[in-house]
């Protein structure tokens, strides 16, 4: 009888642990889903590009440093090729600095940035070749891969935008800028191809202490191996600038949102 009782109690314990584990797993799975966010995102229209000239000029509408930390940290969560994490982002909050970065290529500087915006510079390593001036030595899997550097920077930028949208902000992307503080200061001719090259180092905004870490060669939550940490200065160059802010209070989605399609350029393939 005693042995039978022990056996029954053991079965109860095993069942309880298993059932409890199933509940915990289901709870954890449920906690890791949020389909409502997708509906909110699509319906919020925060993802719409803000027209130049439609930004709020109110300093109270400028994204705070605390919020910047949140969205920049989210951008760093993006998966990348070989997890090179080639990008480095620099947030510029001063309005005159923003205007002298963006220039007048697309509109009057007064319209592209205001007292209510912040401009995030996205730079990337592994675009420059050693011949073009890349200061750190490429070796092994640390190599010049500009196609991946641009691709990965785009992914991280998109994730940052989603985070900004979730906090109530919208964006405007600039792939080309001509401000006086954004000169093409890395220029020359490729000796092998004969092609001219020109890059923007954004050196005014890159401090000597800014360092980029190669994610793949370091643990997710552990001590960083300094062998895989590289200076931003001399290695990274401009990829894009992202203006973040809120539309002016007297604007409507019809007036502040750029009137461009978001076509469904996708398919689910079946044989």
Which DSSP string do the residues of 116-164 spell out, in sequence order?
Answer: T-EEEEEEESS-S-TTTT--SPPBTTB---HHHHHHHHHHHHHHHHHHH
Determine, yes or no, domain membership for 10: no
**130 vs 50: CA distance, rounded Å:** 38
**The model's pTM:** 0.87
Are 150 and 124 contacting, i.e. CB atoms less than 8 angstroms apart? yes
The per-residue pLDDT for range 165-195, each reduced to its tens digit, is 999 999 999 999 999 999 999 999 988 889 9
Are 136 and 74 contacting, i.e. CB atoms less than 8 angstroms apart? no
3-state secondary structure of 6: helix
Determine, yes or no, domain membership for 23: no
Residue 29 in this model has a pLDDT that exceeds 90: no
Residue 83: give its domain's CATH number.
3.40.109.10
Determine, yes or no, domain membership for 64: yes
196-199 and 118-124 as β-strands: parallel, antiparallel, unpaired? Answer: unpaired
> What domain range is 68 assigned to?
52-256
Q: 3-state SS of 61-72?
A: HCCCHHHHHHHH
The pLDDT value given to residue 64: 98
Determine, yes or no, domain membership for 45: no
The per-residue pLDDT for range 119-158, each reduced to its tens digit, is 999 999 999 999 999 999 999 999 999 999 999 999 999 9
Determine, yes or no, domain membership for 26: no
Determine, yes or no, domain membership for 42: no
Band of pLDDT at residue 4, cut at 50, 70 and 90: very low
Determine, yes or no, domain membership for 267: no
Determine, yes or no, domain membership for 263: no
The pLDDT value given to residue 30: 56
3-state secondary structure of 1: coil
Total domain count, the chain: 1
**90 vs 200: CA distance, rounded Å:** 14
């Amino acid at each position: 009888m005693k042995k039978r009782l022990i056996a029954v109690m053991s079965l109860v314990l095993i069942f309880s642990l298993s059932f409890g584990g199933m509940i915990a797993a289901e709870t954890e799975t449920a906690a890791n889903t949020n389909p409502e966010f997708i509906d909110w995102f699509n319906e919020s229209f925060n993802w719409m590009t803000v027209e130049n000239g439609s930004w709020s000029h109110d300093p109270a509408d400028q994204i705070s440093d605390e919020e910047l930390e949140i969205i920049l940290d989210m951008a760093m969560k993006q998966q990348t090729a070989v997890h090179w994490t080639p990008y480095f982002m620099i947030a510029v909050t001063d309005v005159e600095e923003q205007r002298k970065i963006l220039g007048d290529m697309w509109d009057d500087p007064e319209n592209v940035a205001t007292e209510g915006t912040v401009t995030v510079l996205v730079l990337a390593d592994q675009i420059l070749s050693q011949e073009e001036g890349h200061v750190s030595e490429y070796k092994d899997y640390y190599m010049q891969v500009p196609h991946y550097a641009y691709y990965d920077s785009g992914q991280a930028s998109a994730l940052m935008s989603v985070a900004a949208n979730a906090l109530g902000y919208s964006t405007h992307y600039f792939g080309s800028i001509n401000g006086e503080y954004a000169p093409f200061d890395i220029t020359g001719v490729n000796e092998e191809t004969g092609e001219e090259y020109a890059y923007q180092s954004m050196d005014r905004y890159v401090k000597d202490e800014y360092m980029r870490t190669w994610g793949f060669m370091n643990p997710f939550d552990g001590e960083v191996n300094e062998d895989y940490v590289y200076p931003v200065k001399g290695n990274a160059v401009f990829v894009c600038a992202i203006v973040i802010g809120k539309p002016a209070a007297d604007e409507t989605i019809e007036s502040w949102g750029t009137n461009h399609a978001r076509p469904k350029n996708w398919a689910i393939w079946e044989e």
